[in-house]
Amino acid sequence: MTEITIYVVRHGETLLNSFDRMQGWVDSELTATGRQQALATGKHLQDISFDYVCSSDLNRAIQTRDLILSQLPQRPQIIAPNKTFREVFFGYYEGLNAPATWREVAQSSGYGGQEDLIRHFGFPRTRQMMHDADPAKMAETYDQVMARWHHGFEVLRGACPDHATVLLITHGTFIRTLADSQGINIVGNFPGNGSISIVKENDDTVNLIRYNQTIDH
């Protein structure tokens, strides 16, 4: 049985993050704050001996990966950036103001925004509500996102030997979906930029043993 430990890091703050816009497959550069967050996370991880590093194929994740690697005393083997680990796709809503988008999605149900929807309906239903409201019907559902996670775990398990320690740089809503699937209360609990979560994965199970550990930047 192959068991690996995965340190899952959310990328540093981007320009669109700073404008509070929906940033799924749309990409933008790290801000100065985002670069500092990535460097601080790298320093925090200096005592971990990583065997491999992987990221999503979006530039903000690759930028964060390289800044973290610049702080590590030993360079892990790089697994090619992988589309599987991209952020959730928000369809028609990509690039739009996030609070306004969620007010629009929530309007028909009488609630005020995303956190209210999650609190009352749960995250799977909330993601379905965005899909249903999307004029293009392209916003990813919860099940689609979890299918990508499961495929991603297969990719890492296939690339890494037993007892490997892996650094994975990915995205906020993507990480939040995994946390919800593990029974973590995600209401008002969104992964911070540069935050660390830890997953233990083997052939049979995936266990999120730490979620959204924030670093003093």
Q: Is the pLDDT reported for residue 71 higher than 70?
A: yes
Domains identified in the chain and CATH numbers: 4-89+141-213 (3.40.50.1240), 91-139 (no CATH)
List, for residues 5-30, the tens digit of each pLDDT value: 999 999 999 999 999 999 999 999 99
Instruction: Give the CA distances from residue 187 to residues 54, 85, 118, in Å, rounded to whole numbers and listed in that order.
Output: 28, 22, 7
pLDDT grade, residue 188 (50/70/90)? very high
Q: Which of 13, 87, 140, 201 is catalytic?
A: 87
The span from the CA of 4 to the CA of 2, in Å, is: 7
The span from the CA of 150 to the CA of 7, in Å, is: 16
- Cβ contact 3:185 at 8 Å: no
pLDDT grade, residue 204 (50/70/90)? confident
Token pair listed for 65: 């990966």
What pLDDT, on the 0 to 100 scale, is given for residue 215? Answer: 81
The span from the CA of 70 to the CA of 35, in Å, is: 12
Beta 165-170 vs 77-78: how paired, if at all? unpaired
What pLDDT, on the 0 to 100 scale, is given for residue 51? Answer: 98
Q: Is 94 a catalytic residue?
A: no
What pLDDT, on the 0 to 100 scale, is given for residue 203? Answer: 81
The span from the CA of 16 to the CA of 191, in Å, is: 16
- Cβ contact 33:204 at 8 Å: no
- Cβ contact 53:69 at 8 Å: yes
What pLDDT, on the 0 to 100 scale, is given for residue 18? Answer: 98
Q: Is 150 a catalytic residue?
A: no
